[in-house]
Amino acid sequence: MESEAIQAEKWFEGIVRGDRIQLGKALSLVESDRDDDRKMAVLLLEKCDAHVRSRKRSCRFAISGAPGVGKSTLLETLGIHIVEMGRTIGVLTIDPTSAMSQGSILGDKSRMSKLAVSSKAFIRSSAAGQVLGGMARRSMEMMLLLETAGYDIIFLETVGVGQSEHMAWQFTDGFILVIQPGGGDELQGMKRGITELTDILVINKADGALAPLARMAKAQFETALHYFSPLRSNWEAKVVTCSAIEGTGIPDLYQTIQSFEENLNAGDIVITRNRQQNMWLHWSLELLAKKLVMQHPVITQKLETVKAKLQESNGSPFRAEYEIEHLMKSLIFPPDDSKNK
Amino acid sequence: MESEAIQAEKWFEGIVRGDRIQLGKALSLVESDRDDDRKMAVLLLEKCDAHVRSRKRSCRFAISGAPGVGKSTLLETLGIHIVEMGRTIGVLTIDPTSAMSQGSILGDKSRMSKLAVSSKAFIRSSAAGQVLGGMARRSMEMMLLLETAGYDIIFLETVGVGQSEHMAWQFTDGFILVIQPGGGDELQGMKRGITELTDILVINKADGALAPLARMAKAQFETALHYFSPLRSNWEAKVVTCSAIEGTGIPDLYQTIQSFEENLNAGDIVITRNRQQNMWLHWSLELLAKKLVMQHPVITQKLETVKAKLQESNGSPFRAEYEIEHLMKSLIFPPDDSKNK
């Protein structure tokens, strides 16, 4: 264990020093499910957690939006602007093309090629296979590593719809929703029930023929947002129009982000982070519990048999539930114990 | 086991015969967590499941709405109208006052006193302590019992917000959302992201000073609903205004319910029910898995210690997760097995 502690210390120092290769390795480490990796990861994360507590924290944003609204282009243009303003940013994305590979090497770096070469930005794609609840399974750990490396602003891209946004919202400081104008698409945001989560609504593609539609959507949303009591007590949702391709509106968006940051720092970040970590711990443990039980060979085999029967309308789901419940109990409680229950 | 089978047969026959006392007992039985009750419940539910498959099915509605919109009054007025039309209805509600007691005896029967005395209606309240995912834990089983007893239309009242509506939507045939006009409350429905789930939107309290507001809300929603692609492919959402207190609009609402029923019967109900049962089985098993593990004394004790430490900012959630994961593994996998993993 001691040599592991020394190794973790070296990893940690590398990250704090700004060693990008070390940071990249550490991001892979925390995503690994191998037991020896998990051991090292915990030692490293403990150090990081203690380190960031005594420093100015990063501002962590979830960034959400339907496919095709231009999230990657926006992240690239916005990222470059932020870097030009002398700040540093970390971007965590999901690579939809690499459901298989463990760590995605190129992925979003090719989608954000200009930002990727900046020394003040760090982009990391997780393989889509690692996604749970609309984020990478280890997003919380990855944000902590980026924060340890000193990145000022962190963007966590979400995928999917529904519950996933709520999850990402719980684990981050701010929630950015990207939409595009026209085609009734403005209402799509409402449809997903995420308007109430949104701290900054970005109407992208406000260029060419879509520009007037974007202005209309902005007015519409500014009215609509009045009806929603903000879920973060000290922030009122803002609407920004921009064109990631033309670069217009990006300084506005950055200013909005900056005022969100100032607001965050004015509050009690320790309480905020503790709350996030508590929710994360529960979420993570429930996932583990569910996974360990539902993926146990005894359970999966039984479930397969049961489903085949149900398909033939030859058996009831109620008996199936009862039988599998008993299987679960006999797994989790020693045989003697379960008899007494 | 044989005498249990005979007993289950008696219960089943009682329910089919229309014995209300037997039905009441059966509803308590399926809500019980006692192992001998569970055994009997499964035998009974199997019979019910086989029975209803060969008959005209009930139409099962989830009914949702914020507190104060008049759901109980609406259910009473609508229920009486349905009974007067010669139909029978079953109502499953959650009694907010009885978090403690197992079965709630009076509860919503006192809220729906006129309907409660009708021989063509059956009202059952579950204790709030039994609620999971916005419904009673055993709603699916309870609906099956009411269907076995031959009730034509079943209303399942949901409580809470967010995910719960989606759950109730998955397990029922139709989704009714009740709102009241005025105060920007119309938008509250959208806020919850449930507009896309809604098959019938009921604007209640369309009386007195609120009547013009109700008409406005109706027009507004009829426009808005055009933007939402319906999640049930063969039904387009309808908006109905009514006053449960004055009784106006209730025949309209019943007609809408009737056309939903016709629509349902025109589709393949077997496929619908199989899908509902499959989703229910997965949901139920995941709940069981999570509960069995998270409530295991070894886990709860550890989690308490860990949380106390986190509160003092004295410890990292990452180590906590790692340690509890190992505890879980040692519980679920035999010690020899877990060494090899």
Encode pLDDT of B263-307 as tens digits: 998 888 888 888 899 889 999 999 899 999 999 999 999 999 988
3-state SS, residue B131: strand
Q: Is B270 on the interface with A (CB under 8 A)?
A: yes
- Contact partners, residue A43, CB within 8 Å, separation at least 6: A4, A5, A8
Cα distance from B316 to chain A (closest Cα, Å)?
6
- Candidates A301, A318, A333: best to mutate against B (most CBs of B within 10 A) is A318
Beta-bridge partners for A156? A62, A92
Contacts of A309 (CB under 8 A, 6+ apart): A315, A320
Region B78-106 average pLDDT:
76
- If pLDDT is split at 50, 70 and 90, which confidence band does B340 have? very low
A195 touches chain B (CB under 8 A): yes
SS3 of B234-284: the string is CCCCEEEECCCCCCCCHHHHHHHHHHHHHHHHHCCHHHHHHHHHHHHHHHH
Q: Which residues of A touch B288 (CB under 8 A)?
A: 321, 324-325, 328
In chain B, what residues touch A42 (CB-CB under 8 Å)?
Answer: 316, 318-319, 322
Q: How far is CA A239 from CA A45, A176, A264, A333, in A?
A: 36, 10, 18, 53
Looking at residue B181, its pLDDT comes to 81
CB A92 within 8 A of CB A130: no
Instruction: Calculate the dihedral angle through the C-alpha atoms of B19, B25, B28, B32, rounding to the nearest 10 degrees.
Output: -130
Lowest-confidence segment of A115-129, A159-173, B272-286 by average pLDDT = A159-173
In this predicted structure, the answer to whether residue A184 has a pLDDT above a threshold of 90 is: no
| Contacts A318 to B, Cβ<8 Å | 41-42, 45-46, 49, 141
Over 60: is that where the pLDDT of B210 sits?
yes
CB pairs A-B closer than 8 Å = 164
Q: Is B316 on the interface with A (CB under 8 A)?
A: yes
pLDDT at A193 (0 to 100)? 55
- For residues B71 and B75, what is the distance between their CA atoms, to the nearest angstrom? 6
Q: Give the H/E segment covering residue B178.
A: strand B174-179
Q: What per-residue confidence (pLDDT) applies to B281?
A: 93
Reported as a single tens digit per residue, the pLDDT across B175-209 is: 998 888 864 545 544 444 566 788 999 999 999 88
Would you state the pLDDT for residue A113?
A: 86
Q: How would residue A223 be classed by pLDDT, with cut points 50, 70 and 90? A: confident
Averaged pLDDT, A103-128: 77
Determine, for residues B290 and A292 on separate chains, whether the beta-carbon distance falls below 8 Å.
no
**What confidence category does residue B112 fall into, taking pLDDT thresholds of 50, 70 and 90?**
confident
Which residues 117-146 of B are in CB contact (within 8 Å) with A? Answer: 141
Query: Is B329 in Cβ contact with A41 (below 8 Å)?
Result: no
Average pLDDT over residues A176-197: 63
The encoded tokens of residue B2 equal 């044989």
A7-54 tens-digit pLDDT? 999 999 999 999 999 999 999 999 998 989 999 999 999 999 999 988
**Which of B223, B298, B299, B321 has the highest number of chain A CBs within 10 A, making it the mutation to test binding with A?**
B321
The Cα of A180 is separated from the nearest Cα of chain B by a number of Å equal to 15
User: pLDDT-based confidence at B310, cuts 50/70/90?
Assistant: confident
Instruction: Read off the amino acid at residue B210.
Output: L
B34 touching chain A per CB within 8 A = no
Work out the mean pLDDT of chain A and round it to a whole number: 85
- Nearest in space to A168 (alpha carbons), one of A64, A28, A238, A78: A64
Determine the average pLDDT of the residues in A113-134: 84
Q: H-type helices in A59-210, by residue range?
A: 71-84, 108-111, 113-116, 139-148, 163-171, 186-191
State the CB neighbour count (10 A cutoff) for residue A202.
29
Q: What pLDDT does B151 receive?
A: 97
> Does residue B224 sit at the A interface (CB-CB below 8 Å)?
yes
User: Which residues 58-117 of chain B have a CB within 8 Å of chain A?
Assistant: none
List the structure tokens of B328.
């879980």
Would you state the pLDDT for residue A101?
38
Nearest to B285 among A292, A294, A313 (CB): A294
Q: Given this model, what pLDDT does residue B193 score?
A: 55
Closest approach of B141 to chain A, Cα-based (Å)? 8
Regarding pTM above 0.80, the answer is: no
CB contact under 8 A, B187 and A42: no
Percent pLDDT > 90 in chain A is 53
Is A293 part of the contact surface with chain B (CB cutoff 8 Å)? yes
Using a CB–CB cutoff of 8 Å, tell me whether B191 touches chain A.
Answer: yes
Query: Each residue of A295-325: pLDDT tens digit?
Result: 999 999 999 998 888 877 777 899 999 999 9
Q: What is the pLDDT of residue B284?
A: 92
Nearest CA distance, B178 vs chain A (angstrom) = 17
Q: Whole-angstrom distance between the N-terminal and C-terminal Cα of chain A? A: 40
